[in-house]
Amino acid sequence: MFSRYAALVKNLRGVVLLDPSEEGAKESLRWLAERFRYRNLGLTPAAAASLGSPQKPFRVLAYPLEEYERFAGELAGCAGLEKGLTELLVLSSLYVSPAILVGYRYREALGAVAVDEVRVRGAMGVQQWKLHLRIADYTVLDMYEYSVETAEEAVRSCGDEAKVASLLEERARRVAADKKRYWRVSSGEGDVFMYYVDNLRVYCSRCGSSGLCGRDWLAAALAVVPVVVVPPGMK
């Protein structure tokens, strides 16, 4: 498992989830493939299974350790989220890549756990999409070390609610500052282009911070994950 992870992690440009049965989802997946024809895009195990035999640029992702796969299942259970969605969030954190949600199938569930969002008014052109998908990559890269370090602090606090709350507030401020990257398209209204999901916040708020105790390895799965929403029917 780790060898497959190591082979992909450096050159991955996003982790993709979709429901192929949603109208327009496969069309948007083809559109996305055109934008990344020379780059690898990862598919969660759930997405890969639903698509059959995905072709390049898509690669089926593996968990570096079995513990992370079990954690994705644990998070789905205690957070009340579908396993496909927790796979997306955990694998995006582990692969240090933005998540890409194709279609609206999981949008409501994501909105319920997001710490913030970037909205855009009106349709974006291809060049705007390419630019802001690249900026989303910078978001996760620039925040990752900080995210993991503060997640490690939360693990070491072993259920200290005041400490965890302080860390989550600090992470939310970092997210608010990061939103300024998207000034070219950002609007207070309109459709959601991107959600910020703080995996640490999701776990602590829905599963309880005491569950972190003694699990230092979890920090790599508890980053702040930008989730870009690609609407169905993109051409």
Q: How confident is the model at residue 54, as a pLDDT?
A: 76
Is 132 a member of any domain? yes
Per-residue pLDDT of the chain (235 residues; tens, 9 = 90+): 777 787 788 789 899 999 999 999 999 999 998 888 768 899 998 888 888 877 888 999 999 999 999 999 999 999 999 999 999 999 999 999 999 999 999 999 999 999 999 999 888 999 999 999 999 999 999 999 999 999 999 999 987 999 999 999 999 999 999 999 999 999 888 999 999 999 999 999 999 999 999 999 999 999 999 999 999 999 8
Residue range of the domain that includes 54: 2-230
Q: What are phi and psi of 111, to 5 degrees?
A: -60, -30
Q: What are the residues whose beta carbons fall under 8 Å from the beta carbon of 196, sequence distance 6 or more? A: 114, 115, 116, 117, 118, 175, 178, 179, 224, 225, 226, 227
Structure tokens at 181: 């990257």
Q: How confident is the model at residue 5, as a pLDDT?
A: 82
pTM: 0.95
Is 98 a member of any domain? yes
Q: How confident is the model at residue 35, as a pLDDT?
A: 84
Q: How confident is the model at residue 90, as a pLDDT?
A: 98
Is 235 a member of any domain? no
User: 149-173 burial by CB neighbour count: b if 16+ within 10 A, else e?
Assistant: ebbbbbbebeeeeeebeebbeebbe
Is 91 a member of any domain? yes
Q: How confident is the model at residue 122, as a pLDDT?
A: 83
Q: How confident is the model at residue 56, as a pLDDT?
A: 82
Q: How confident is the model at residue 235, as a pLDDT?
A: 85
Is 117 a member of any domain? yes
Structure tokens at 222: 């508890």
Q: How many domains does the chain have?
A: 1
